[in-house]
């Protein structure tokens, strides 16, 4: 069998996996820390525009025309989702934000971001939002620190996810669903008990949302973040693990660091079909997020 020569674009500092995926650069590539590499593509492997697949490194797919991948951020109006929007924009992705109230969102996101009106509790509003989208980054949820009854939690934190998955399946273009949730859904703790009282049984509904994602047939990453703080990202070490960390202030992380992990997970083969936790480790950052994601195991239900 003959092999085709192909030009690959790989992120500076990451391993090339040109043997697995052929990529076409967008005009943004030089500005986003990408460099050109020669590689081989076997005829049996992924071609331009094919879905993101599990492979060993960190790469981004682009359409044959060189257009950047369009990512829908659900929850991108504030908090971690908004930080992810900025990162995606810096890295040259096309970004669409779902907003319940689009007024004023532009002021935070900038003119190049597409805003689509929608509400995850209203399934019909998600259909236009997912049109043409290649990946979904989902950080939406009932606001932290505010009391919410179980009905509202169920509608937003569980049905919001299932509605989005349905819309994504119908659209047919979505290749990766990256879901941000919380640690503490399994291991009991005082903080988890308190959280479940304030946001009624939220951890139960979050676990059900995770389960729905795992059986959805979509390529996904479930990212369980520790206790969120507002602090600059990139300074402290980040610990990525696949256990059942309890919820508590001991396991904290900056929203900015979580946003970095979510964006990296969007196109990283190691994060495909994987559930993992992300919290701060000890000391300064010594290891890249992409390297840590490379060591993840896929979930046993889909492996
Ligand atoms: N607080 C913690 O320590 C912690 C720890 C781990 C994980 N988490 C979870 O991580 C996620 C991000 O947290 P965060 O504090 O950074 O963000 P956040 O400030 O809670 O933002 C939540 C986002 O969800 C959106 N949203 C809520 N209900 C919606 C609906 N019905 N339809 C569409 N969008 C909706 C909000 O949009 P609007 O602007 O319209 O309100 C907002 O963009 C949340 O899901 C949170 O529960 C929190």
pLDDT per residue over 185-195, tens digit each?
A: 999 999 999 99
For ligand 1, atom 24, the nearest C-alpha belongs to 140
Q: What is the pLDDT of residues 237-282, one digit of tens each?
A: 999 999 999 999 999 999 999 999 999 999 999 999 999 999 999 9
Q: How far is the CA of 75 from the centre of ligand 1 (A)?
A: 6
Q: Which residues line ligand 1 (CB under 6 A)?
A: 75, 77-81, 98, 100-101, 119-121, 139-141, 143-144, 156, 160, 180-182, 225, 227-228, 255
The rounded distance, in Å, linking the Cα atoms of 292 and 282 is 15
Tell which phi-psi region holds residue 85, choosing left (phi > 0), alpha (psi between -120 and 50) or beta.
alpha
Domains annotated for the chain, with CATH where assigned, are 1-57 (no CATH), 70-293 (3.40.50.720)
Q: Which residues, 6+ apart, have CB-to-CB distance to 92 below 8 Å?
A: 26, 28, 29, 31, 32, 68
pTM of the model: 0.84
- Compute the distance from residue 206 Cα to the ligand 1 centre, in Å: 13
Atom of ligand 1 nearest to the CA of 140: 24
Pairing of strands 176-182, 220-225: parallel
pLDDT in tens, 77-119: 999 999 999 999 999 999 999 999 998 788 788 888 999 999 9
Q: Of all atoms in ligand 1, which is nearest to the CA of residue 141? A: 45
For residue 101, which atom of ligand 1 is closest to its CA? 40
């Amino acid at each position: 069998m003959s092999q085709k020569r192909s030009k690959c674009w790989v992120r500076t500092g990451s391993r090339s996996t040109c043997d697995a995926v052929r990529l076409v650069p967008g005009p943004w590539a030089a500005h986003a820390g990408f460099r050109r590499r020669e590689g081989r593509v076997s005829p049996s492997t992924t071609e331009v525009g094919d879905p993101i697949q599990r492979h060993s490194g960190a790469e981004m797919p682009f359409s044959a025309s060189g257009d950047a991948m369009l990512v829908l951020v659900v929850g991108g109006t504030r908090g971690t989702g908004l930080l992810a929007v900025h990162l995606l924009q810096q890295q040259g992705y096309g970004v669409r934000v779902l907003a319940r109230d689009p007024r004023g969102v532009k002021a935070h996101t900038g003119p190049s971001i597409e805003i689509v009106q929608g509400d995850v509790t209203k399934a019909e509003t998600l259909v236009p939002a997912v049109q043409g989208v290649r990946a979904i980054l989902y950080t939406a949820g009932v606001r932290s620190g505010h009391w919410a009854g179980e009905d509202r939690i169920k509608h937003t934190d569980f049905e919001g996810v299932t509605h989005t998955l349905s819309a994504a399946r119908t659209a047919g273009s979505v290749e990766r669903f990256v879901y941000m949730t919380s640690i503490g859904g399994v291991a009991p703790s005082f903080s988890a008990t308190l959280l479940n009282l304030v946001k009624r049984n939220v951890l139960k509904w979050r676990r059900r949302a995770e389960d729905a994602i795992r059986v959805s047939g979509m390529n996904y990453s479930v990212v369980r973040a520790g206790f969120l703080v507002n602090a600059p990202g990139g300074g402290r070490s980040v610990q990525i693990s696949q256990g059942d960390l309890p919820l508590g202030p001991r396991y904290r992380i900056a929203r900015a660091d979580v946003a970095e992990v979510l964006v990296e997970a969007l196109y990283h083969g190691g994060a495909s079909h994987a559930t993992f936790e992300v919290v701060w480790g000890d000391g300064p950052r010594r290891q890249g997020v992409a390297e840590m994601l490379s060591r993840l195991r896929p979930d046993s239900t889909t492996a």
